[in-house]
């Protein structure tokens, strides 16, 4: 009843994307990264109890944000190399059931090797914190009366460290029509997915694009389909002023490597889905035992999430 009153009391024509920004805070981001990087999750290696705890916790955050389940479950399980992985999937409906955007970030990590745990705060608890923030922001805007042109699918991928097996499984399910719209029951197929947005390592600031500037972000995409002008427009309109690059530190070879080969957008690109990847790049802290919650620059992470949010609104 409260949600109905809130949504009906607001004139949809006056709804501003900025109204959802209030759900963001540095404290919340710190809590989310700290939980995923905690010893309770043991580094989140696929198939471990710690990764299972992380996946269940993410599903609770999806529920709290107001997302919907697919077929009565938050999980899509798969087997790869003898390991059982669990993708966590949630949904926000839109008015056009033939058009969707998929936003994803992997939550698995290196785990514990020997007696050494790899917390994976930047890789990729930072990306999951961004994913959860975006889910909550888009859900909040919808609660206020925003009617999105299409549906938004949120996925926390497992199995990134196992040859992108979690993202590959979701792409496979789409290709076979095995993911169905919770409202219509119609299959969501690759031709209906308008964009895929992948978030992978967005919390670091020690490897800037420009010396002395920690407020930066890279978006890797195909030049023709990436809507790069939309990112630049959002960066200026909302006075975020981030230092943006559309390459991986200016390297053509590394740009191709991260965009076309070794990141979770690749299986979707192979299905013909236009895809983009957001990252702050690999630093000397990534995939190290000291990639813990203290390694994240939370004020900059917050600004990056805001930029991604306003960019994705333009994609819708």
Class of domain 37-315: alpha beta
Judge whether 271 and 189 are in contact, CB under 8 Å: no
Q: What are the tens digits of pLDDT across the range 272-292?
A: 999 999 999 998 889 999 999
pLDDT of residue 100: 97
pLDDT-based confidence at residue 5 (cuts at 50, 70, 90): very low
Name 174's Cβ contacts closer than 8 Å, sequence gap at least 6: 188, 189, 190, 193, 268, 271
pTM here is: 0.95
pLDDT-based confidence at residue 1 (cuts at 50, 70, 90): very low
* DSSP H or E stretch at residue 301: helix 298-315
pLDDT of residue 13: 57
pLDDT of residue 11: 59
Q: What are the tens digits of pLDDT across the range 114-171?
A: 999 999 999 999 999 999 999 999 999 999 999 999 999 999 999 999 999 999 999 9
Nearest of 41, 183, 10 to residue 118 by alpha carbon: 41
Q: How far is CA 311 from the centre of its chain?
A: 13
pLDDT-based confidence at residue 50 (cuts at 50, 70, 90): very high
Mean pLDDT of all residues in the chain?
94
């Amino acid at each position: 009843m409260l949600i109905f009153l809130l949504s009906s009391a607001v004139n949809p024509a006056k709804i501003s994307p900025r109204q959802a920004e209030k759900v963001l805070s540095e404290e919340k981001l710190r809590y989310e990264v700290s939980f995923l990087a905690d010893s309770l999750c043991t580094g989140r290696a696929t198939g471990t109890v710690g990764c299972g705890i992380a996946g269940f916790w993410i599903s609770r955050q999806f529920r709290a944000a107001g997302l919907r389940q697919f077929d009565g479950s938050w999980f899509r399980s798969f087997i790869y190399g003898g390991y059982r992985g669990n993708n966590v999937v949630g949904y926000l409906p839109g008015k056009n059931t033939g058009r969707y955007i998929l936003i994803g970030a992997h939550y698995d990590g290196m785990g514990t090797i020997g007696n050494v745990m790899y917390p994976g705060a930047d890789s990729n608890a930072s990306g999951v914190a961004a994913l959860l923030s975006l889910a909550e922001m888009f859900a909040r805007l919808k609660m206020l009366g925003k009617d999105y042109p299409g549906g938004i699918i949120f996925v926390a991928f497992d199995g990134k460290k196992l040859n992108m097996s979690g993202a590959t499984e979701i792409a496979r399910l789409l290709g076979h029509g095995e993911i169905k719209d919770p409202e219509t029951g119609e299959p969501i197929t690759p031709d209906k997915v308008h964009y895929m947005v992948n978030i992978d390592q967005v919390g670091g600031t020690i490897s800037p694009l420009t010396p002395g500037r920690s407020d930066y972000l890279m978006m890797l995409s195909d030049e023709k389909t990436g809507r790069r002008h939309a990112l630049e427009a959002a960066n200026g309109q909302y006075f975020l002023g981030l230092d943006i690059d559309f390459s991986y530190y200016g390297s053509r070879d590394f740009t191709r490597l991260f965009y076309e080969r070794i990141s979770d957008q690749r299986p979707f690109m192979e299905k013909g889905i236009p895809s983009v990847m957001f990252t702050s790049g690999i630093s000397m802290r990534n995939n190290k035992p000291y990639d813990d919650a203290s390694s994240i620059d939370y004020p900059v992470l917050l600004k990056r999430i805001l930029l991604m949010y306003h960019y994705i609104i333009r994609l819708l």
